[in-house]
Amino acid sequence: MPVVLTVIAILLLCSGLAIYYAITVSLYFRFKKSHKTYISASIFASCWTLAELARAEFFTGFPWGAIGYAHVDSILVTFAPWVGVYGIGWVAAYMSACIASSLSNLKQDKKITKNLGISIAVLLFMVVPWQVNTSSDAKNFSVSLLQGNIAQDLKYTKLREQAVQWYVEKAVQAETDLVVMPETAIAYLRQDIPNEEWQKISTHFSEGQNALIVGIPTYEKDKGFGNSAIALKANAQEYLYNKQHLVPFGEFIPKYFQWFNQMVNFGITDFIRGPLKPEPFVWHGQNLAIQICYEDLFGEELAQRFMVEKEKIPSLLVNMSNIAWFGNTVVIPQHLHIARMRSIELNRPTIRATNSGGTAIIDASGKIQAVAKPYTQTVLVGNVPASDGRVTWFAQWAGRWGLLPMWVFCSAIVLGFAVTGTRLRSATQSH
């Protein structure tokens, strides 16, 4: 019975996410006939973007698969530091609508060559590989990124002790400035870790010349469980980061679905939710902005970390992920694309330590400097090219107002042209 209910829940989730597009596209077809091609394309792009914004924010949000990510290697990515992934999505949707309209009118329009030429030119503009360039004289930062490749169904079995031993061994052997383990790399609660293993890394990094960030579940008596990261460095207390943007039905149960949790018996309790603007982990002059897995889908939330005192502005993004849940699927390259987009939006390099794939070093322009072979147990060692330190326009407006400016822009276009079209039809009918 629980399996059946889970399948039904997934189908309902997919249907719910599709409703956003159904509603907004119906709005487009309601108003498009009243206007010329370029106006109609603007309405379509705005309707589509409104659907993506709704999907990204309503009911905690699920922004995976926004069309802007498809353009991380196209010339459209140059818009990312200005308008972010949803702004890119608007431009892509606008161009696509123009192409579709041009091609659909070929039979009626005698200027076939002109229309085809424009359509092909726009299409090439969208797909030709492109790279944003950044430069900096800042010192590079050496890292070791650990990829354990532990199967999810074995992670909490007897294999976890072997996994911990491997992670600890590789961490203490590393000679780089920073060592990063993936999300829940140590599959023990903080207080349940075998003493000898934790003592090894605790002693090593409290006395050594490098630092460690480790993904680990935590528990506080008065607060509950946390999907956490602990950072260790010399002459400092442990740094604790708790995941802020939790996964629905995985790390918390939405308010109106407690009945479903009781019926299916997930056994899930709400995890500790960290602050939206946590203190950075500071090491070797770098302000490290840690995110755990799903959190890097929300560029507008990461942007808020830039709205702090100048000395606390992030200089390096650190993502720790465990996507072994999804096996050998497109999730790994998709998540890597998302991380690249975050780097471009925020003009900051990203390092990713993952359990099964997508472990990589990404520069501030979104270019992959080094990547580990997926589904292997390995350590990726490399240098992180620093950014020029500029805070992008996207970081500034999204950090202050979130996605509200995009909501206002798209809504204004739809409502404005809708009113205009209604008036034009009324005037035409009256004559």
Edge to edge, what strands does the sheet with 316-321 contain?
281-283, 286-292, 316-321, 350-354, 360-362, 368-371
The two tokens of residue 210 are: 């490098």
**Does the active-site annotation cover 293?**
yes
Structure tokens at 277: 């603007």
Residue 280 DSSP code: P
What is the rounded CA–CA span in Å between residue 25 and residue 19? 10
Contact 229, 213 (CB under 8 A): yes
Question: Which member of 52, 183, 251, 295 is catalytic?
Answer: 183
Q: Where are the beta strands (DSSP E) in 284-359?
A: 286-292, 316-321, 350-354
Is-catalytic flag, 183?
yes
Which residues, 6 or more positions from 419, have their beta carbon under 8 angstroms from its beta carbon? none
Options 32, 170, 233, 293, the catalytic residue: 293
**DSSP category for residue 248:** B
| Distance between CA atoms of residues 380 and 170, nearest Å | 11
Contact predicate 147/352, CB 8 Å: no
**380 beta partners:** 145
Which member of 170, 243, 345, 367 is catalytic? 243
What's the chain's length in residues? 431
Inter-residue contact 193 to 164 (CB < 8 Å): yes
Q: Are 150 and 376 in contact (CB under 8 A)?
A: no
Q: Tell me how far apart the alpha carbons of residues 180 and 226 are, in angstroms, rounded to a whole number.
A: 18
Distance (Å, rounded) from C-alpha 421 to C-alpha 106?
25
**Alpha-carbon gap, residue 145 to 113, rounded angstroms:** 53
* Sign (positive or negative) of CA dihedral 87, 88, 89, 91: positive
Give every CB contact of residue 183 below 8 A, 6+ residues apart in sequence: 215, 227, 229, 292, 293, 320, 321, 322, 354, 355
Q: Looking at the annotation, which residues are catalytic?
A: 183, 243, 293
